[in-house]
Structure 1
């Protein structure tokens, strides 16, 4: 007769349908670059390497308007594209990649949609004709930068950033697009999903990393302690671990960051709300993420939001996200070096 203990063991063994996943590569330690208005000096990325970083994300923007189906980028704007900042132009993107190479930094190319009059997160259309118009333009955009990524030997191509409603609504389009990208670019691929929708994306199996823009809400306190934030990471870690195990893929934080403001861990994605300056709140949030998430066996690393190649950001209120010259940069250096 089989003992009850053995029966219980066999039942539990049968329930183990999703084996653990372990990422066996080096953690990506990166920053998302802000495109500068003018070409910076060749030494502008040295600080990333000095801090212990080894990757940069280069972000070429494309543009659309809310409820209009046309999409514009450097490849279809002609003379209208001359107003773009240097770092957003094709020449600027290519030169930024070369500058990163000079500092022995690896590169993720990460196209991003800028929607006038609304949020790219909620891009949707009611008419099939509008979807097809937009998709035709958008396909050109993604393939344009796939060619650039291939020609310059980019290490990782993030095919799109946070178009999650689009991704869920039109999975057949995305599968075709990913197949086309793979005929052009032979490196690794990811997609940057928003923190609250990453588990809904239908095409993770076709990519190499599960990319997450990790603006998870962590605390309603004004300046939460590192220990409080670590404790509040636990439910998010469970969800991330579950999708990693289910897909047998590593999780990559394509963006993570906090403003140097009080309440910065409450709704970390917000950039337009009032800010009472607090380097401590930002530094504590960085410390908790690095201590809690970075050592997870399924975690592949992440990219700070955001990093400037020049000092011009010092006059712009919105750029409280940058850790540069603040206590958060000290935390990053301590962990990354």
Structure 2
């Protein structure tokens, strides 16, 4: 009799554990597919190793996702070699640092978008890559594949929720569509999570492979106001054009829109050209940043075709905050409370 009861108890415990795992898997899947909003923060890669204390502030935003960006470099727009070396660079951009950061996120219930990204020269726009020969394009493709697939394997091993295959590579995407189709197939053979691409706000409409991905990624630096401090009514009015455009693209491909990046500087004229850093003559203006975030949530976060997005950006090291008073980060600014409350409601 005791043996029978012990056997029944063992079966019941195993069943409970299985149901718990199934529930956790369901919750993660629901989050990744957009059943609930992706409330994301982009973490700036750290120079040195970090621990859980660096992740807690991201959790305090009520974030459920974080983007991790390991950069590679091109010397210039016409030199096609992608350079990535494990022995150089910052801890947070090396494979070990990326894997540790992912685990630290998971420990606090935050899923990850892994978003390898290219930096060119002194900050030239990656969308302007224009190569003259087939040999040059092939060099770019081969070196980009090696770079991306290195992190695809990390994404697969760590079982993260989402991977971004590229960021603002307008001319590369336009000129080499067959390459991108094959790259996506190669990634799918290894990684089973969700895929996106980060198209710029003025070029995402022209990406040819949205059907092959799970989200339509948009770096959402849409111009919204030419005022020093944006008026909420003006911002709402100007959002309507962009909302109609994105809704149409979402319906065309039957995919949700994901803001792969979004954010505003905390300075005058923050809504005029939101992709730019503050100019020297611009004054600090936390109210402008606050209004733009607030209106973004009021106009976008309730749309059922909107998956959510990733704020640009959060620093885990105080040493990286030089000039942060005007920069994109909302840390210790009025907008931080705006974001935290919006993410709380969306959760």
> Which of 77, 98, 102 is equivalent to 2:103?
98
What SS does structure 2 have at the residue aligned with 1:233? Answer: helix
Q: Which of 25, 39, 59 is matched with 1:29 structurally?
A: 39
Residues in 2 aligned to 1:233 and 1:184: alpha-carbon distance in whole angstroms? 38
| Matches of 2:207 and 2:34, distance apart in 1 | 24
Give the match's secondary structure for 2:79.
coil
Superposed counterparts of 1:130-141, under 5 Å: 130-141=136-147
Counterpart of 1:328? 335
Residue 216 of structure 1 corresponds to 222
Q: TM-score, normalised by structure 2?
A: 0.86
Q: Matched residues in 1 for 2:326 and 2:93: separation?
A: 18
Question: Which residue in 2 is equivalent to 1:89?
Answer: 94
Residue deviations 1:178-230 (CA, integer Å, cap 9, x gap)? 00000010111000000000000000000000000000001110001222211
RMSD over equivalenced CA pairs, Å: 1.4
Matches of 1:272 and 1:290, distance apart in 2: 23
Corresponding residue of 1:301:
308
Counting matched residue pairs gives 309
1:40 counterpart (37, 43, 50): 50
Q: Which sits farther off after the overlay, 140-149 or 36-45?
A: 36-45
Indicate the residue corresponding to 1:19 in structure 2.
Answer: none
Aligned residue number for residue 195 of structure 1: 201
- Residue 24 of structure 1 and its aligned partner are, at CA, apart by 5.8
Choose the corresponding residue for 2:83, options 72, 77, 85: 72
Between the aligned partners of 2:325 and 2:335, the Cα distance in structure 1 is 17
Which among 58, 71, 74 is matched to residue 68 of structure 2? Answer: 58
Tell me the residue number matched to 1:249.
Answer: 255
SS in 1 for 2:320: helix
Determine the structure 1 residue equivalent to 2:236: 230
Work out the CA distance in 2 between the residues paired with 1:319 and 1:31: 18
After the TM superposition, which parts of structure 1 deviate over 3 Å for at least 4 consecutive aligned residues?
316-319
Q: How much has 1:272 moved relative to structure 2?
A: 5.6
Q: Secondary structure at the match of 1:266?
A: coil
Determine if contact 1:223/1:263 at 8 Å carries over to the other structure: yes
Structure 2: distance between partners of 1:112 and 1:223: 32
Instruction: Decide whether the 8 Å contact of 1:272 with 1:318 is kept in 2.
Output: no
SS across alignment from 1:126: coil
The structure-2 alpha-carbon separation of the partners of 1:42 and 1:317, relative to structure 1 and needing over 3 Å to count, comes to: closer
Contact 1:260 1:281 in 2 (8 A): yes
Extract unaligned runs of 5+ from structure 2: 1-32
Q: Which segment drifts farther, 223-232 or 245-254?
A: 223-232
Say whether 1:150 aligns with 2:160. no
Give me the whole-angstrom Cα distance separating, in 2, the residues matched to 1:146 and 1:314.
Answer: 30
Is the 8 Å Cα contact of residues 313 and 319 (structure 1) preserved in structure 2? no
Q: 2:26 is matched with which residue? A: none
